[in-house]
Structure 1
Amino acid sequence: MSHDHLVLVEREGDLARLVERAARADALAVDVEANGLFAYRARLCTVQLAFREGDGVAVAVVDALRVPVAPLAPLLGAAGPRKVLHDLTFDARMLAEAGAPLAGAHDTSVAARMLGCAATGLAALLLSELGVKVDKQLQQHDWGRRPLEDAELRYLADDVRHLLPLRARLAERSRALEIDEEIEEECAYKLATALGPPRDPRPAYARVKGAQALDREGRAILRRLVAARDAAAEEADVPSFKIVASEVLLDLAQRRPTRVDDVRAVRGAASGRAAACVAAWLRAIEQGRSDGDVPEDERALFQQARPARRELAARRAVETRIAAWRKAEAKARKVDEQVVLPGHCAQDLAEIALARGHAGGEAVAAAIARIPGLGAGRLARYGGALAALATAALPSEPPAAAT
């Protein structure tokens, strides 16, 4: 189906023809939409693609609810054209789950951040860099609804139509600053992180703000309450937060009501969709009381000792030292601080400095070389400086002896 030079792909044969056409392109703009704000488990709803074809730009929207997108895998993988996305993390996860994992991807949000752009959202960048204004009113739209209307198709097309020109414009600036290598290293790191395990592996109840302050029975109750909320959300096919907010469950775990009226006295616990869950809250509280504590293998999540004052002082000193060096180097090179050392690399360097113990210089250098996302270029340029930062004396130590 064609629509203002836009192709809507709803059949497997049409998808195969699209893949064949797009495979001949030198670069491919990619974006996806899902229904995570409206369903218990987010589903990939659309995949948008744009690529140069002849003297123009071809734009396609693949309806992922009507045609499997796994045939896109060769196109989106390492053997396909260079992919360009904006803020690729969510897109990469959804595509991987759908059987079409990304490889060789460039992220324009990473480039914009390393170029020091004041605003790095897509709409802001398109306006500032290309003078193109796009409508973002459908940013929180339910993309699981069908059929796709004209306004929705235009919105989907706009999210990819201008990505390749934006990439070209940002590339001009990055080449002038000679920071292409750092940008690509960060793009690769971001993609690897998106496709890897979550940074915080704790179960949902342990991640609730305030859970760490609960006593044993309280955290057992919270665990049961979160499970009850998830069951209700799955049955209703809505996100868990649309049943009840986490802070309400924390309040219930603290108060531990035993009667319906007491639950209703907790703000938010018996209103909206949660009104049908009052009995479930009471059962969860009773089960948590009976449990007495969370399972033994999860108790360590709540036994994090507060760092000693000396340890906190050492951490602050290391982080301050690294930050000062990074700022000075960025000023000297006239680049953004993230180019010199991304924040996640600075955190890893601080951990190496704090955990080095009696390790020698070679061990520290080897640990620095293994920092994810640091890259060969930064290591060659800054390896000695980073080693010096990591081995400098901590506040509680005497200065290192000269060698």
Structure 2
Amino acid sequence: MADDSPASRQVIETRSAYLDAIAAIAAGNGPIAIDAERASGFRYSQRAYLIQVYRRDVGVVLFDPPAVGAFTELQAAIHDVEWVLHAASQDLACLREVGLDPARIFDTELAARLLGFPRVGLGTVVEELLGTHLAKEHSAADWSTRPLPQSWLEYAALDVELLVDLRDAMATMLADAGKSDIAEQEFQAVLEKDSKLVRADPWRRLSGIHSVRGLRNLAVARELWLSRDTLARELDIAPGRLVPDASLIAAAKAMPATRRVLSEMRDFSGRASRTELDRWWAAVEAGRTTTDLPVVRQNGDTLPPPRAWSDRNPEADARLKAARAAVYTLSEQRAIPVENLLTPEFLRRVAWRPPQTIDAASIGAALEELGARAWQIAETSQLIAEAFVEAHQSMDESAESAS
């Protein structure tokens, strides 16, 4: 079906070529390797601008998503096949946007983490296990560019060409390490994870917002962010390419009194800083006059930073430190990163508000309610319970000695 020589990479853009490709892919053997290229940093949307598919006996097939539209036929052809992705969580959203949604996956980046690889980038893992060097010079390119240069297409093809071989090598390593079941649970968790919740105040993502003082200044920052976000969405341009965060922060701090003062601010720069000056001045005025002032701190079930625990909740601090040490030791023994062995936030929450009765079962139930997987609970609940009990006993002994 596909000629994989570098000079002949072709992107499928027509309906007839698309259907021919689907027939070939459906007739292939084994897992499907799949990847997507976006235009992050260039476009507002996170849509896929190139989708690469590889299957043995077929080779690499490159699709142009904007030209193809819905991938209904491809989804039907490969839905029940295992999909191999590297860092699946980064690509699933844009794949689902065009109708591609796997039933089961093998995530080579996640597998590398579970195997204890110190570096888990695709190029590093491929070179270590398969002995092939992957050039990554186009990873941050603007994939909305048309036509796509051949060098970019070759780079994109190589991203999937070796994924199935990599999957096979890692599956063997997982089995040898007794981690196959762990990997399956983690892969399934990636599939089932809800899309990232939209923040109630997304403008608080502004880089440098912590340096803005005063509710009125925060209101100006908010209105500038909202105005920029609206324009970026309309133009499908990354917001920072219109006016950078630093410029919005500078305006919010300066609180310019007039449109002219805003226009004369050196710190207020960017490709749209002057062409859309009326828009930005309207946002500044809206922030200066609104009665809907933001709160300094957002409400929510947010724990204090661990560095403050020793003063605010010494018992929780002792529990957390003891349990962290135990989990870290287990992480080294199992050659699994701490953050994969157990989500650090889960451990903090259990340490801050532990069950009334401390044992493996109650700790396990608390972790399950937070979202921990079965294997994580099996690995950590007992040692966390023991660490909590030891921390409590140590504090009692210290209190007795002090008295």
1:328-368 deviations in whole A, cap 9, x for unaligned?
A: 224444x2344xx6265342132122113646655543222
Are the structure 2 counterparts of residues 327 and 197 from structure 1 closer, same or farther at C-alpha, using a change threshold of 3 Å? same
1:323 aligns with 324
Q: Distance in 1 between matches of 2:276 and 2:269?
A: 7
- Describe the shift of the 1:127–1:64 C-alpha distance in structure 2 as closer, same or farther (beyond 3 A): same
Aligned to 1:94: 94
- 2:151 matched to 1:151? yes
**Alignment check: 8 A CA contact 2:47 2:97 kept:** no
Alignment of 1:4-403 (within 5 A): 4=4, 8-23=11-26, 25-53=29-57, 58-68=59-69, 69-75=71-77, 77=79, 80-193=80-193, 196-198=194-196, 201-211=199-209, 214-264=213-263, 266-294=265-293, 301=298, 310-311=311-312, 313-314=314-315, 316-333=317-334, 335-338=335-338, 342=340, 344-356=342-354, 358=356, 361=359, 363-375=362-374, 377-389=375-387, 393=391, 398=396
Q: Deviations over 1:62-119 (max 9, x none)?
A: 2212112233323454xx2111111112210101122222331111111112222232
Change (3 A) 1:179 1:38: same
Equivalent-residue separation in structure 1 for 2:123 and 2:356 (angstroms):
51
RMSD: 3.2
Q: Supply the distance in 2 between the matched residues of 1:359 and 1:291 (Cα, whole angstroms).
A: 50
Q: Which moved more, 1:91-100 or 1:232-241?
A: 232-241
Question: SS at 2:101's partner residue?
Answer: coil
Structure 2 segments unaligned to the other structure (5+ residues): 398-403
TM-score (normalizing by structure 2): 0.83
Cα distance in 2 for residues equivalent to 1:396 and 1:220: 48
The 8 Å contact of residues 365 and 387 in structure 1, kept in 2 or not, is answered as no
SS in structure 1 of the partner of residue 190 of structure 2: helix
Task: Give 1:59 deviation, angstroms.
Answer: 1.4
Deviations 1:217-240, CA, capped at 9 Å, x for gaps: 122211111112123323443110
Q: Residue 32 of structure 1 aligns to which amino acid in structure 2?
A: A
TM-score normalized with structure 1 length: 0.83
- Cα distance, 1:49 vs structure 2: 0.8
| Pair 76,349 (structure 1): closer, same or farther in 2 beyond 3 Å | farther
C-alpha displacement of 1:28: 0.9
Q: Which runs of 5+ in 1 are unaligned?
A: none
Aligned length: 386
- Seen in structure 2, the aligned counterparts of structure 1 residues 116 and 215 have a Cα distance that, compared at 3 Å, is same
In structure 1, what is the Cα distance between the partners aligned to 2:245 and 2:321?
35
Q: 1:258 to 1:32 in 2, by over 3 A?
A: same
Whether the 8 Å contact between 2:203 and 2:225 is mirrored in structure 1 is yes
Provide the C-alpha distance between the structure 2 equivalents of 1:343 and 1:268, rounded to a whole number of angstroms: 45
1:45 Cα deviation after fit? 1.4
Question: For residues 330 and 2 of structure 2, what CA distance do their matches in structure 1 show?
Answer: 52
